Every structure is written in C-alpha cells, then in structure tokens.
Amino acid sequence: MKDRRLRVGYVGAAFGTYYADEHDQYGRAVGGLRRLADEMDFDLIAVDTGVQEVEQARQAAARMSSERVDFLLIQAAACASGELLEPLAGAAPRIGLWATPEPVLEGSIQLHSLVSVNHYASIIRRYLRDRRIPFKWFLGHIDEPDMDRRLRVTIRALQGIKTMASARIGWIGGVSPGFYNMLFDEAKLEERFGTRIGRHSIAEVVALARAVDERSADSVVQTAADLAVEVTAPRIGMDRNARIYLALKRLIEAEGYDALAVQCWPTFQDDFQAAPCMAYSLLGSEDGLAVSCEGDVPGAVSMLLMNSMSPIHGSSTLLDLTALDHEADAALLWHCGVTPRHFGGDNGIRWVDHVTLGRKSDVRYGVSGDLRFAPQQTTIAYTGDDFSEMFIAAAEVVETGRAGFDGTRGWFSKFRLAGEPIEMLDLVNTLVVGGHEHHYAVAQGDLSSELSEVAAWLGMRTTRPLPMRDHLQIDGLNR
C-alpha cells in the first residue's frame, strides 16, 4: 500500500531560565497541532515536554528519524541554545522554525523566541550551509490566523509532494501527432517528483472497451444522461464513451494509477470510431481522477499535484488559451469537451457531438461536453517538460456576455503571476516568448501559495513576468 499520509513532528526548545512552561508554550502548541492534524488528516509526532539539553535534542531527533517524519516543526518555545539545532535539523528532510510573540512588551523579557528563530536560521544558512537544509519560518501561536494560514499552506504543499513521490501515471497512446512540445524527460520527472510512468497502447484500452458487457455500458450511459441537462449526441457515441470510461477505470484499478495522460486523437477515431471526451469528463467529475487529453504527461502531473492539495471534490482540468476579449479584459480558456461538470456550477453540462472532429464530414464521433464555467476563483499551473520550472497563476472566471466557443470553457480575468497582478497581454507575452507548452492545468480555488511552496521545497523555478514590448524579445536575453 502506498504510504501517503503526511507525518509532522514537533519539538519545543528553551532555556530553563525563560518562561516557556509558565506560558504553556508546549501544551498550547501540541494541543493546537493535534486539532489541526485531525482536521487536515496528517499524523503528528510530538515531544510534549521542552528540550533544554543537547542529549535531549539527540533523543528527540532519533525519535523523529525513527518515525520517518516528513516535516519537523522546531519551536523556539523561548530563547534556546544553538547547540540544540544541529541534531534536530538532521531529523527530517524539511524543517519549520517557529517563533511565538512576546506575552508582554515591557518589563522582564519572558520568551525571547524570535531571536532564537533568527539565530537558528542563520546557523542553517551559514554554519550548516553545506547540508542545504530547507526550512520555512513561522511567527505566531497555533490558534492565531496568520500562523494558521501559513501552516495550512505548508501542510497542503507537503501533502501534495508526498502524493507525487509515490504516484503512478498511465501514459496511453503517447502524444497526439505533432505535439512535440508535450514530450518530456521521464528521468527528470522521477528525480524531481518521484512520479513514475506506465505505458499502454490505445489498442489495449479498445480491447477492454469492447469486452465491457452491455448492461454495464448501459448503466454508465444512463448515469451520464442523468447528470446532463441535455443529450444531443447519438446513442452509439454515448455507448462507446461509457465503454472507454469503464475500460480506463479497470486499467487504473489494475495498475494502481493515480492519473492518466491519454491520446484522444486520432487513434481512438481510427480504432474505435469514438472521441473519448465524455469518458475523461466523467472520470474527473465522478471519480476525482485527473485525465489529461492528447497524451500530455506534464499536464497530468500538474493536474494530479493540484488535486492532491485541493479540498474541492473532483479533478482539475486541462485547457488551451484560445481567444482574447479585449473589451472584457478576459481570455478564453477552452477545450473540446473534457472538463468535469463541477466547473459549471449551476450551468449544467450537455453531451453533444464532438465540437471539432468530423464536422466537415458525415462521420459522427461524439461525445463532447458543452459547458460554460461559472464565475469562480481558479489556479492555472503547468510543470513543464523537464520539471525545472513551474508556471503558477491565479485568475477569476468572469461573465463577459459572450458564451465562448462550443466545448468546455470559461472567460478568465484578473490574472496574478508570481503573486502580483499582471495585464492580460503581458501574461500572453510571458507565455509565448517563453515557449510555454500550449496546455494549462486549471483547478478550482486559489492554490497559488501551495504551488509556490511545492516549487520552493523541490528546488523549482517559478515563471516570472515578461511584459510585452514593441521590440523583439528573447527570454533571458532581451527583456
């Protein structure tokens, strides 16, 4: 079984001449962390009493190491010796340095906690620099909003990292023809994230689909119809998508896959006379499984990462940047019908003939989803072909008065890149000049802080703005 449950450790350190015990520093911290562990579903390994001596620090470090802690919070419950840090800093792959505010701001100093976090950070950066110990610092009590917000970001980011470290993605059929920019470095994917790839052919999926019994396929067709506000796609297209849906589910269960990257054209049309958009949409909405179309593995990685950190049920989606509405200051992100239905809110999904394939012939491939996204906060991300850089943007889906193109789509506006607002054309310039892959993984809600933290822990760059200019721009040379 995959061990994906995050394990967080806590050790509080202090000189006995300060007042950590009197101000219940340890009890307050451990009690709050236990409540958070129950809520956010992680394991807490805590030392309930304060560490004052080096031997105590060594014993605490040995316990954290034996418990395979993923993240160790070292709280300066009061001013603490620098000698305590070295054994504790080696007890987990990632460290949190935690300061708390002073209970009074005059008279005899009670805790002197912040100075020890400053001290410990300096030791890590200078004295222990060769060990390259990653750390994040915190300030506040566990039940205070600023501390709570920053710690939740870290917990979600580390849960995402841990999920990816044992994840498997099924790559079916390779990339669609000519999509050379979706090719990726598998060794670097495993090195950066730990994620592994399994390969399959479209023929394997088609064989599974043909073997699905009629009753099972009919049941999925009925479920899909019940979920939609309208069905205009032909019955044969619905049946074939139901079979593909069940075939992919069986492959996922047999292989233990966490996500799929599946070529959706042209092989499915050649071998099974079907466009599988509805199947992908259902896997995302009803099973919460990330399925990237056109064989896009970095897209699947990006989708799975966001799914693993999001509290929202259902999968993220994969879209193209398709059109700009300058009057509304909005960009249309679209794909031909694969997005899970929950992106639409009260806007119900329709199952229609495929919106691009077969439209200049008498062939009907079906089935696309037709869905307008509801206004909402979103995150747009992509890990890239060598997994050294992550694109992270926040945006809002807005109403513009225009429906957008048939398919699954939304108008996106109020973009933020690198945590700062960015003009729409500057964002497009950043993407085009930088040669960004033409797919974008989109999740509901704002996960930009969590993704930025994932990138920092894993040593990835994040995409920086490149404002549009009238002269030729070459990324990294002429801005």
| pLDDT in the model for residue 479 | 64
Q: What share of the chain is helix, strand, coil (3-state, %, to 5)?
A: 40, 25, 40
Angle (deg, nearest 10), helices 214-227 and 277-286: 70
* Nearest by Cα to 13 from 59, 57, 71: 57
- Looking at the DSSP assignment, which residues form a beta bridge with residue 198? 170
For the record, the structure tokens of 3 come out as 């061990």
* Nearest by Cα to 365 from 253, 449, 241, 244: 241
pLDDT per residue, tens digit, the chain (479 aa), is 468 999 999 999 999 999 999 999 999 999 999 999 999 999 999 999 999 999 999 999 999 999 999 999 999 999 999 999 999 999 999 999 999 999 999 999 999 999 999 999 999 999 999 999 999 999 999 999 999 999 999 999 999 999 999 999 999 999 999 999 999 999 999 999 999 999 999 999 999 999 999 999 999 999 999 999 999 999 999 999 999 999 999 999 999 999 999 999 999 999 999 999 999 999 999 999 999 999 999 999 999 999 999 988 899 999 999 999 999 999 999 999 999 999 999 999 999 999 998 888 888 877 999 999 999 999 999 999 999 999 999 999 999 999 999 999 999 999 999 999 999 999 999 999 999 999 999 999 999 999 999 999 999 999 999 999 999 999 766 66
| pLDDT in the model for residue 323 | 98
Q: If residue 280 lies in a helix (H) or strand (E), which one and from where to where?
A: helix 277-286
For 393, phi and psi rounded to 5 degrees? -135, 150
* Nearest by Cα to 263 from 356, 330, 357, 174: 174
Residue 319 near residue 299, CB atoms below 8 Å: no
For the record, the structure tokens of 432 come out as 């085009």
Contacts of 156 (CB under 8 A, 6+ apart): 40, 309, 447, 450
- Work out the number of other CB atoms within 10 angstroms of the CB of residue 95: 24
Report the half-sphere exposure of 442 (CA within 13 A, side-chain side).
Answer: 30
Residue 408 near residue 343, CB atoms below 8 Å: yes
Contacts of 142 (CB under 8 A, 6+ apart): 28, 29, 31, 32, 33, 36, 148, 151
Query: In this structure, is the dihedral angle defined by the CA atoms of residues 328, 333, 337 and 341, taken in order, positive or negative?
Result: negative
The domain ranges of the chain are 7-164, 167-462
What distance in Å separates the CA atoms of residue 27 and residue 57, rounded to the nearest whole number? 18
Residue in the block written with tokens 């933290």: 453
Q: State whether residue 331 is helix, strand or coil.
A: strand
What distances in angstroms separate CA 107 from CA 18, 22, 104, 115, one per listed residue?
Answer: 14, 16, 8, 17
* Nearest by Cα to 255 from 184, 306, 217, 199: 199
For the record, the structure tokens of 139 come out as 């300030």
Q: If residue 157 lies in a helix (H) or strand (E), which one and from where to where?
A: helix 145-165
Dihedral of CA atoms 288, 292, 295, 301 in degrees, nearest 10, equals -80
Q: Is the pTM of this model over 0.75?
A: yes
| pLDDT in the model for residue 2 | 67
Residues in the chain: 479
- Work out the number of other CB atoms within 10 angstroms of the CB of residue 41: 10
Phi and psi based region of residue 445 (left: phi greater than 0; alpha: psi -120 to 50; beta: remaining)? left
Residue 171 near residue 160, CB atoms below 8 Å: no
| pLDDT in the model for residue 1 | 45
Enter the DSSP assignment of 117. H
Fold of 167-462: L-fucose Isomerase; Chain A, domain 2 (3.40.275)
Enter the DSSP assignment of 131. G
| pLDDT in the model for residue 416 | 98
- Judge if the upstream peptide bond of residue 340 is cis by omega within 30 degrees of 0: no
What distance in Å separates the CA atoms of residue 181 and residue 194, rounded to the nearest whole number? 22
Residue 322 near residue 332, CB atoms below 8 Å: yes
For the record, the structure tokens of 35 come out as 């409540």
Q: State whether residue 364 is helix, strand or coil.
A: coil
- Kindly report the CATH number that applies to the domain delimited by 7-164: 3.40.50.10940
What distance in Å separates the CA atoms of residue 258 and residue 269, rounded to the nearest whole number? 25
Residue 244 near residue 205, CB atoms below 8 Å: yes
pLDDT digits (tens, 9 = 90+) for 230-279: 999 999 999 999 999 999 999 999 999 999 999 999 999 999 999 999 99
* Chain center to CA of 256: 19
For the record, the structure tokens of 226 come out as 């019940």
What is the strand order of the sheet 43-46 is part of?
43-46, 7-13, 71-76, 94-99, 135-139
* Chain center to CA of 409: 20
User: For the chain, how many helices (H) and strands (E)?
Assistant: 14, 20
* Chain center to CA of 108: 47
